[in-house]
Amino acid sequence: MVWRSSFYSSEAFFTDYGDIAVLVRSGGAGVVLINQLEMMGIMVLIGRLA
């Protein structure tokens, strides 16, 4: 299962492989690996990077 959503020109990918979320900023500004269980943390992180 792969879920993609765009947030402020950013791509968030969620997969069942190792429960890892990958956030890639537009233009390759950076890649962040975090635990998929930290859903709120993901939203906060996206807000901060945007």
Q: Give 19's pLDDT tier (boundaries 50, 70, 90).
A: very low
Write the single-letter amino acid at 9. Answer: S
- 39 to each of 1, 27, 28, how far by Cα in Å? 16, 24, 22
Name the 3-class secondary structure at 43: helix
- 48 to each of 18, 42, 45, how far by Cα in Å? 25, 10, 5
Residue range of the domain that includes 14: 2-49
22-40 pLDDT tens trace = 555 544 444 445 554 456 6
Q: Give how many domains the chain has, as a whole number.
A: 1
